[in-house]
Structure 1
Amino acid sequence: MDFFPDPPPPHEEGPEEHRAPVWSGAPDDVLPGVVPVEMLLARSSSTAVLLTGFRAFPEGLAMNLGVRVRGPLGFRDLHAEVFDGPYHHDTGEQWQAERLKWGFEFADGRRATNVDPPVWGDDDRAWNDETWRPDRPVLSGQGGGGGPRSVDRDHWLWPLPPPGRLRVVLQWPQQGIATTTHDLDAQPFLDAAARARPVWEPR
């Protein structure tokens, strides 16, 4: 007689796969169209902010925001500054006013920034209903990393911008960077999105 019970019979089907909402991040099963943007967004005596690596998908744009610093580091925590921290005082009024802020303005006037309030609020459908969409554009931070003087973080802009001017705005008073703007033409991003294609053939 065996001491341990028999294992349960295997399930015929695995657990239901959950797909992240299209507005929350770039799809992992689509080969994007690439737009060669190499932009120095802003620079102070100690800090430079770069915008590169645009990948266009049918639902939005992925890109990389890079921060480079020079000079004495002291107690500066670059990761916390770029990754939405430092959390021990991120509700402080002064820190909120001086933190890294950046975003996009579409040709139709709609805006998306890294300091917008969450789009889902109290609506449970945001993550459970695949047909749910936010009522405004979304700029969300994704993964990334780096070292004490160089940090890169991916971001996702949803949806695709309409044709016309695509404005990038950034300010970082804490690092001596006043509000700066750069105007891009949205058409190359739309053309690149049209080149995107699925990684897998349909089953």
Structure 2
Amino acid sequence: MTFFDDLPEPPPRPRQPQPLRSGWSGPPSDELPGVVPIGEFIHNSPRMVMALKSVEVYSTGCVLDVVWIVRRGEETDREWRDVMDQGFNHPGSSLSADVGLMVGVGYPDGRKAIASRPTPSMFEDDDVTGPVLTMIGGGGGSGNDDMVQSSAHYWLWPLPLEGDTRLVAKWEGLGMDEASVVLSGEQVGEALGRVRRFWTD
């Protein structure tokens, strides 16, 4: 017998149920999405590229995978550091909206969702009708003396199925005028048919 052998068992604790999650707050945790391999440029210039790589479609919404790369030109070391600082910033960052990255989605019926706006809170669940576009993370980023690259994932709710949806981006601080790419409602609908639940019980 050792010093710790006779420790009492902790009392059983009540089982905590899985909390209910609002559809606008993020993708379902029990689904394997259908993926649309978009692979289209939102912006493509000698200095900067931004692209929509893919869309992960869930039963309630979709995740947009956006990437960007900026190449160094004639910037001084100080100017290039400023570019790198901007290149890692996302909507809702400390950069003002007039120079930082702005991302939005236009639905076929004219409704808009903009990522830089505050998202709803859990106290607004009954009143949220959407659409909602929010950043839910990214694939990180890297930079050196020649280029800076980064990415972001955006959750769009509700799922746009009726007609084509437009993803719009603008980044004045990096010289990127407003540009967009179209997401086909037909492709989204087909991917929705490939969504699989983890469990059926």
Q: TM-score, normalised by structure 2?
A: 0.80
Residues 1:83 and 1:111: Cα distance change in structure 2 (over 3 Å): closer
Give unpaired runs (5+ residues) of structure 2. none
Quickly say closer, same or farther: Cα 1:15–1:113, change in 2 above 3 A.
same
**One-letter code of the match for 1:198?**
R
> For the structure 1 residues 170 and 83, does the alpha-carbon distance in structure 2 shift closer, same or farther, using more than 3 Å as the test?
closer
For 2:9 and 2:156, the matched residues in 1 are separated by 47
Instruction: Tell me how far 1:53 sits from its aligned partner.
Output: 2.0
Which position in structure 2 is the counterpart of 1:129? none
Q: What residue in structure 2 maps to residue 159 of structure 1?
A: 158
- Residue in structure 2 matched with residue 194 of structure 1 by the alignment: 193
Which of 78, 81, 94 is the aligned partner of 1:74?
81
Residue 133 (structure 2) pairs with residue 139 (structure 1)? yes
How far has the Cα of 1:78 moved from its partner? Answer: 4.6
Find 2:12's aligned residue among 2, 10, 23: 10
Task: Report matched runs for 1:50-129 at 5 Å.
Answer: 50-71=51-72, 72=75, 73-75=80-82, 76-78=84-86, 80-82=88-90, 84-85=92-93, 87=94, 90=95, 95-120=96-121, 124-126=123-125
Change (3 A) 1:140 1:98: same
Superposed CA offset, 1:125-174 (max 9, x none): 53xxxxx3612201110122121222121111000113212112111111
Does the 8 A contact of 1:82 with 1:151 survive in 2?
no
CA distance in 2, matches of 1:14, 1:114: 36
Q: Structure 1, residues 28-59: CA drift from partner, whole Å, max 9, x if none?
A: 22111111200110134432211112111110
Count of paired positions: 186
Distance of 1:139 and 1:173 partners within structure 2: 20
1:58–1:194 contact (8 Å) kept in structure 2: no
Given that 1:44 and 1:176 are in contact with CA atoms closer than 8 Å, whether structure 2 keeps it comes out as no
Pair 99,78 (structure 1): closer, same or farther in 2 beyond 3 Å: closer
Q: Is the 8 A contact 1:54 1:62 kept in 2?
A: yes
Q: Percent identity?
A: 27
Alignment gaps of 5+ in structure 1: 127-131
Distance in 2 of aligned mates of 1:78 and 1:18: 37
Please report the RMSD computed on the Cα atoms of aligned residues, expressed in angstroms. Answer: 2.5
Query: What TM-score does the superposition give when structure 1 sets the normalisation length?
Result: 0.80
CA distance in 2 between partners of 1:49 and 1:64 (Å): 11
1:44-83 deviation digits (Å, cap 9, x = unpaired): 4432211112111110111211121111532432564126
